Amino acid sequence: MKLPKGIPYLVLAGVAGLIATFTIHRYITMKTAVSVIPHDQVVVADLDIAPGTALSARMVKAAAWPREIIPAKSFRSAKELEGRVVQVPISRGEPVLPNKLAPEGTAAGLGGLLDPNKLAVTVRTDDVSGVAGFINPGDRVDLLVEMSAPEEKGEHFSKIILQNLKVLSKGQIWDQTAEKKPQVVTTVTLEVTPEEAEIVNLATNQGKIRLALRNQLNQGLFYTKGVLTSNLAYAKPSQAENAAKVDASKDNKVEVIKGMGKSFASL
């Protein structure tokens, strides 16, 4: 049986159409394909967790994280963290890492987080003495005291007496005023040596204390003589003020050039 003359052309056109359709489909698929990023489970905090808290299953959860950004030594199962005590604040959604936890076997509470040779001392603060509430657990602070000068009658003395103290916690307690009315008092708990604890206790009873927040990277010590009330009237200008005076004096001069010489003249 002889096929009509147009049939081979129709078959050829159909094959060409199928090839073109397959090629276009494959091209579009390759262009629109989303690369699959490998993921693994990481244990993260399911709520904000304060230092001294013993972890339980309700506080953490397993979350899928891209394998490339998973922190080293992260936990993969919540069972590994049961009963472990948090050493620093952990925010919700933040991975729970070993360096944020106290050693295994540490009891819950601040007592378990203390250095074996140190004590925890709580001091009262307010919006001013407590750096307007910006002090948080884990921060480092210096302690200043303002009191009557021991050898200068009528004078007050201010000095930094303790430096680079670790803040363990902050909170509020109920206290009664002289009128026996309850009021909320803000407190900050500091980690100190036994000798520093004695100094803090004496300072809080002899004068007013204030906390000064320091940079976490600053581990150095400041050496100051302290200041008396009378020193305030004769205080030397700061370096910034001296620099401003020098700049002002330069502004009042003009440069005079004569031949190869150059000089300044005041206005």
Q: Cβ distance 52 to 33 under 8 Å?
A: no
Residue-range domain boundaries for the chain: 39-108, 114-219
Shortest CA distance to 195 belongs to which of 150, 221, 162, 149?
A: 162
Give domain 39-108's CATH architecture: Alpha-Beta Complex (3.90)
| 16 exposure class (CB count in 10 Å sphere: 0-12, 13-18, 19+) | exposed
The pLDDT assigned to 191 comes to: 92
How far apart are the C-alpha atoms of 173 and 184, rounded to whole Å?
6
Work out the percent of the chain whose per-residue pLDDT is above 70.
76
The pLDDT assigned to 89 comes to: 84
The pLDDT assigned to 43 comes to: 93
Residue with more model confidence, 113 or 265: 113
How far apart are the C-alpha atoms of 216 and 140, rounded to whole Å?
6
Distances (CA, A) of 55 to 71, 105, 106, 203, 262: 20, 12, 12, 37, 75
Q: Quick one: average pLDDT of 139-160?
A: 87
The pLDDT assigned to 177 comes to: 47
**Confidence class for position 143, pLDDT limits 50, 70, 90:** very high
Is the pLDDT assigned to residue 6 strictly greater than 80? no
The pLDDT assigned to 32 comes to: 72
The pLDDT assigned to 95 comes to: 93
